[in-house]
């Protein structure tokens, strides 16, 4: 950045840039406490609000996290590289592996807050799945926690009539998950469509993902289709944007 560009930056942005550079070069290591508001005020000759804005900017970027009564610390978390194509290949779930195994390696993944219900699907989802007015959906709600950090909320919708009485209607769907069970039902997914967008989280999402103020979420909507072109699952996911890199590998 040129000197003139730096002059145009607000003071809190310049302070944040210095701290960010320190994180990137390893001066401040994961888990290490950053200089506090009083330290920044003394070092840069700024007001408390300016120091606070600098730290808040780094929090919004997902680089640091505030711990009540302790200070602001460099976030000790390795982003997840979500392999958008490889993870959905039949070679993955068809062999009994979780599609998450393609993303996390040997890291510690826990699926908690699992809830499976039968209920009326949202109108848009019902239309995609071809559900009639009297038809119910099997709804699977889950939260994914990686290395102790909640990273994703997921809600899956399937035809209740199709999956009633099968492991899909249970919290644990078994090896290979939902897609392996759909194959056993003769409705194997052969094509997927994903749509990705972003927005700010609502209060419930922020609470469940324990997100820092100002951090957006990514929304991924995935539809799985069988060999007749019929939608067999709609999955709506909310991801902590600071926890993910989305990677797609495909031939030209």
Residue 57: give its domain's CATH number: 1.10.10.10
252 occurs within a structural domain: no
Are residue 70 and residue 102 in the same domain, yes or no?
A: no
CB 177 within 8 A of CB 208: no
HSE on the CB side for 138, CA within 13 Å?
19
pLDDT band at 3 (very low <50, low <70, confident <90, very high): low
The arithmetic mean of pLDDT across residues 112-129, rounded, is: 96
Q: Determine the structural domain holding residue 207 and report its residue range.
A: 80-247
Give how many domains the chain has, as a whole number. Answer: 2
**What's the pLDDT band for 5 if we cut at 50, 70, 90?**
low
Residues 158-170: what's their mean pLDDT?
97
pLDDT, tens digit, 9 for 90 and up, residues 70-116: 999 998 777 788 888 888 888 888 888 888 888 887 788 899 889 99
Q: Please give the mean pLDDT across all residues of the chain.
A: 91
At residue 251 the predicted structure's pLDDT band, cuts being 50, 70 and 90, is: confident
Q: What is the token pair recorded at 11?
A: 């003071």
In a domain, 107, yes or no: yes
Phi, psi (deg, nearest 5) at residue 171: -55, -40
């Amino acid at each position: 950045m040129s000197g003139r560009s730096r002059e145009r930056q607000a003071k809190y942005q310049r302070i944040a840039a210095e701290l960010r550079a320190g994180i990137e070069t390893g001066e401040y290591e994961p888990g290490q406490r950053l200089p506090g508001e009083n330290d920044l005020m003394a070092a840069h000759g700024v007001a408390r609000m300016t120091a606070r804005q600098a730290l808040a900017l780094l929090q919004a970027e997902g680089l640091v996290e505030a711990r009540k009564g302790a200070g602001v610390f460099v976030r000790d978390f390795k982003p997840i590289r979500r392999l958008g194509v490889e993870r959905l290949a039949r070679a993955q779930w068809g062999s009994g592996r979780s599609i998450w195994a393609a993303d996390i390696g040997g890291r510690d993944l826990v699926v908690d807050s699992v809830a499976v219900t039968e209920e009326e699907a949202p109108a848009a989802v019902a239309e995609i799945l071809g559900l009639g007015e009297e038809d119910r959906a099997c709804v699977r709600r889950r939260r994914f926690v990686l290395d102790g950090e909640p990273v994703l909320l997921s809600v899956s919708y399937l035809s209740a009539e199709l999956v009633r009485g099968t492991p899909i209607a249970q919290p644990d769907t078994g090896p290979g998950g939902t897609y392996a069970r759909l194959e056993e039902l003769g409705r194997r997914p052969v094509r997927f469509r994903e749509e990705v967008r972003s927005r700010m989280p609502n209060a419930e999402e922020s609470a469940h993902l324990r997100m820092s103020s100002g951090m957006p979420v990514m929304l991924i909507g995935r539809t799985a289709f069988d060999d007749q072109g019929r939608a067999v699952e709609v999955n709506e996911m909310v991801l902590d944007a600071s926890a993910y890199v989305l990677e797609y590998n495909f031939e030209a």
